[in-house]
A and B are shown apart, each in its own frame.
Chain A
Amino acid sequence: MIREFTSPDVVYLMLAARWTIGLALVATVGGGLLGLLIALARILPIPPLNWLAIGYINLIQGTPLLGQLFVFFFGLPLLGFSVGAWTAVALSLSLYASAFFGEIWRGALQSVPKRQWEAGAALGMTYRHRFTHVVLPQAVRIAVAPTVGFLVQLVKNTSLTALIGFVELTRASQIITAATFAPLQVYLTAAAIYFVICFTLSQLSRVLERRLHGTG
């Protein structure tokens, strides 16, 4: 039975977009926490830790996210761990995001000139204070734009979870397309929703950057 693409369908897509946002949020929080550890593991002067972190980053960045999703969704059960779609998706998106956040933040921290550390030291500040009051605020400012840039990628990448049956925005669009046979309208609507989410993020980034310049 083919029906029209009507406003309830738009509402349905918007509700599905909650999952898109939710998935991105989970990946941001989980990936953010883990990413901090990765950045530290890359920076601390402990060679085995550095190698481990580099290996991890290469593994995650060098393999497709879809493959990682499949490993968690189909692979873990084979090893005897029963995981739901949520757990598999939350885990794999978080690990994926952590590798990118880790690298972005390490880069930001290391791009603060060594002289800034020295200026703090020359004033008698402790190592901890030099980090928290001199280097970190500058690194945060540097990191805002690439971090948000990656978040935008992340939002779009959540669509891959459709392939393991997650009904987020892309999967919802497929379902409605099958029912209405109006792919153009459906996918244009979905694209518009993705655009609004991502555009909001990049505006936020702009505001944040300006704010950080003003008050530090």
Chain B
Amino acid sequence: MALVRLESIVKRFGALEVLKSINLIVKKGEIVAIIGRSGSGKSTLLRCVNALEPVQGGLIEVDGIEVTAASADHNALRARVGMVFQSFNLFPHLNVERNIMLALKLVRKTPKPEAQDIAVRMLEKVGLADKRLAYPDELSGGQQQRVAIARSLAMEPTLMLFDEITSALDPELVGDVLRVLEGLARDGMTMMLVTHEMNFARNVANRVVFMHEGRIHEDGPARETLTEPKTDELKSFLSAVLH
């Protein structure tokens, strides 16, 4: 069953065409790693899926909602599609628990005690139950990123988007965050993740999408695509990131 459907997506910033007719279907439960050089359009692609960026052409459908329709309710869509950013983007004026509870209360209208229970459960899931009352600036980058993941998960998303969520972290903190993602994978969460962690892509993703100059240049099963790239562009990209 297709959870995400992109048909002939065109995205421009002014005269610059960043996405050039993208076609992509992501099935429920699939874990798609999106790789490619800097500027190839990976982040833009993710941001189009939850309508943070409007597109100039094509059709996007997520979980039965036609995102590109003029009447689409983007807030309702985003309440069901989680997104985690490279820069964490926790709310600095709220403690960890309230970071997680805010959207639950405002968007889902969850009563406070229940929202608090959810926050605790999500924090346990990412291994940070003891940081419930800490403020973001009291946490390490890896801890902040796990709180950001917990904050998204609290909304019970049907799809999670991750944009290079380990790129801003010290190497020794990357593992904790990747372990959380592995847990999500075991739970069957559908994920689209932009990553430079090739080992992670190979071991956890089922599928790899290689973007090159605004197009999907290669698309296939993770292990196979990464070990036996078909195109020269992917070969040279892989040799650049692996060495």
Chain A residues packing against B (C-beta within 8 Å): 115-116, 118-126, 129, 133-134, 137-138, 141, 212-213, 216
Query: Do the beta carbons of B93 and A212 come within 8 Å of each other?
Result: yes
B89 at the interface (CB under 8 A from A): yes
Query: Do the beta carbons of B98 and A216 come within 8 Å of each other?
Result: yes
Query: Do the beta carbons of B94 and A123 come within 8 Å of each other?
Result: no
B25 at the interface (CB under 8 A from A): no
Query: Do the beta carbons of A137 and B152 come within 8 Å of each other?
Result: no
Query: Do the beta carbons of B87 and A123 come within 8 Å of each other?
Result: no
B106 at the interface (CB under 8 A from A): yes
Query: Do the beta carbons of A115 and B89 come within 8 Å of each other?
Result: yes
B91 at the interface (CB under 8 A from A): yes
Query: Do the beta carbons of A123 and B85 come within 8 Å of each other?
Result: no
Which chain A residues border B95 with CB–CB below 8 Å? Answer: 216
Query: Do the beta carbons of B107 and A123 come within 8 Å of each other?
Result: yes
The smallest C-beta distance from B234 to any residue of chain A, in angstroms, reads 30
Query: Do the beta carbons of A124 and B93 come within 8 Å of each other?
Result: no
Query: Do the beta carbons of A138 and B107 come within 8 Å of each other?
Result: no
CA–CA, A180 to B70, complex, Å? 79
B216 at the interface (CB under 8 A from A): no
Q: What 1/0 mask marks residues of chain B from 81 to 122 whose CB sits below 8 Å from any chain A CB?
A: 011010101111111001000110011000000000000000
Chain B residues packing against A (C-beta within 8 Å): 50, 52, 75-80, 82-83, 85, 87, 89-95, 98, 102-103, 106-107, 135, 151-152, 155
Which chain B residues border A121 with CB–CB below 8 Å? Answer: 52, 75, 78
Query: Do the beta carbons of B52 and A123 come within 8 Å of each other?
Result: no
The answer to whether residues A124 and B89 also contact, given A133-B106, A216-B94 and a CB cut-off of 8 A, is no
Which chain A residues border B93 with CB–CB below 8 Å? Answer: 137-138, 141, 212-213, 216
The smallest C-beta distance from B34 to any residue of chain A, in angstroms, reads 17
The smallest C-beta distance from B85 to any residue of chain A, in angstroms, reads 7
The answer to whether residues A123 and B89 also contact, given A118-B52, A216-B98 and a CB cut-off of 8 A, is no
CA–CA, A134 to B91, complex, Å? 7
Which chain B residues border A119 with CB–CB below 8 Å? Answer: 85, 89-91
The smallest C-beta distance from A113 to any residue of chain B, in angstroms, reads 8
CA–CA, A136 to B77, complex, Å? 24
CA–CA, A213 to B94, complex, Å? 9
The smallest C-beta distance from B145 to any residue of chain A, in angstroms, reads 13
Query: Do the beta carbons of A124 and B155 come within 8 Å of each other?
Result: yes
The smallest C-beta distance from B80 to any residue of chain A, in angstroms, reads 8
CA–CA, A122 to B162, complex, Å? 12
Q: Would you give 24 A-B contacts (Cβ < 8 Å), ordered by A?
A: A115-B85, A115-B87, A116-B89, A116-B91, A118-B85, A118-B89, A119-B91, A120-B103, A121-B52, A122-B50, A122-B85, A122-B152, A123-B78, A123-B79, A123-B155, A124-B75, A124-B80, A125-B106, A126-B106, A134-B102, A137-B93, A138-B92, A213-B135, A216-B93
The answer to whether residues A123 and B103 also contact, given A115-B87, A118-B52 and a CB cut-off of 8 A, is yes
Query: Do the beta carbons of A133 and B89 come within 8 Å of each other?
Result: no
The answer to whether residues A133 and B102 also contact, given A118-B89, A138-B93 and a CB cut-off of 8 A, is yes
Query: Do the beta carbons of B94 and A129 come within 8 Å of each other?
Result: no
Chain B, Cβ-Cβ closest to A138: B93
Query: Do the beta carbons of B92 and A123 come within 8 Å of each other?
Result: no
Which chain B residues border A118 with CB–CB below 8 Å? Answer: 52, 85, 89
The smallest C-beta distance from A129 to any residue of chain B, in angstroms, reads 5
